[in-house]
Copies of this chain bind each other. A is one copy, B any other.
Amino acid sequence: MPLSTDQLADVSEARAATASTLRPTVPALEALLHQPLPVLDHGFVRVVDYMGDDNAVVQAARVSYGRGTRKVSEDAGLIRYLMRHRHSTPFEMCEIKYHVKLPIFVARQWIRHRMASINEYSARYSILDREFYIPEPGQLAAQSTSNRQGRGAVLQGDDAEAVLRLLREDAARCHDHYALMLGEEGGGADGGYGLARELARMNLTLNTYTQWYWKADLHNLLNFLALRLDSHAQYEIRVYAEAMLRTVRAWVPTACAAFEEYRLGAFTFSASMLAVLRRQLAGEVVEQKESGLSRREWDEMHRALGRA
């Protein structure tokens, strides 16, 4: 169970406390509010607050374009236009806050996104729980031979078991020793050594779970999702992005659909790719060698066109 007893009590309390507001409110997101969506073996994502909705994007764009635009375009059309032309500021007008529990090595990737606010559980002040991420057997992949950052075939049988045993035993032993070093009774062994928390934590493995509050505006959240939903993103962060995408769909369905159409499902053709395309559309047969594209670009382009 990913949430602690205290946290579950907080969720119940929060979900019981209905208030009346004059702010824009999204019933579909209210239905999800505070509830943890499970991710990996002990992690979760849950929305704890939000501000704005699809209409807040429209409202902000319209203050830019001024009076008279109201009738010109439908709201959905305007949102699609803004997304297509990468007008980012209207999407900054919506804000969302998540509570996330995640392995430390995932947190280290995630925090590279700087345009967000974070409060992380601090192991200088507090003691980390004995919880580690151990991959599902189906995720225990070999190093890809073609891609330096990718995964290849799934490990099988004894090999898989051996790896899982190493991961489990090392994480558990390191945490046991962490607890021992921290032990407040002193005198070593069972009593512990009373080591400072800020030092003892260095003995933990990178699959130990941490948690944080993470708050971002819709523009920066979509940038995060575009990168982390990509097929090249590491599986362990992609599953967080997928859970968040569900919350975005509930929150701002029109902006989310535009995001899927113009970002997730899109492909950018370089100047040279456009030149190749023009020749192909004119009926010419173009070879990679004389296309001006590298082998890799050629493949990426034709994969996007379903002709790989």
Contact = CB atoms under 8 A, between A and B. Distances in A.
Interface of A: 4, 6, 14-15, 17-25, 30, 33-34, 49-52, 56, 59-61, 63-69, 77, 81, 84, 89-90, 92-93, 95, 97, 99, 103-105, 108, 111-112, 114-115, 117-122, 124-127, 133, 135, 139-144, 148-152, 155, 158-159, 162-163, 166-167, 170-171, 173-174, 177, 180-182, 184, 186-188, 193-199, 201-207, 211-213, 215, 217, 234, 260-262, 264-274, 277-278, 280-281, 294, 296-297, 304-307
A177 B205 CA distance: 12
A68 B159 contact: no
Given A51-B51, A307-B281, A150 B93 contact: no
Contacts of A24: 19, 49
B119 A148 contact: no
Majority-rule SS of A interface residues: mixed
Interface centre among A114, A139, A187 (most CB of B within 10 A): A114
Given A268-B266, A305-B277, A122 B65 contact: yes
Given A196-B144, A199-B135, A21 B22 contact: no
A262 B120 CA distance: 25
Given A177-B170, A270-B84, A195 B142 contact: yes
B268 A60 contact: no
A125 B65 CA distance: 5
29 contacts: A18-B22, A19-B21, A19-B23, A21-B21, A22-B34, A23-B50, A51-B51, A63-B120, A63-B121, A64-B122, A69-B126, A92-B215, A95-B215, A112-B118, A114-B114, A124-B234, A135-B199, A139-B199, A143-B182, A143-B184, A152-B196, A163-B193, A166-B180, A170-B203, A201-B206, A203-B205, A205-B205, A264-B271, A278-B306
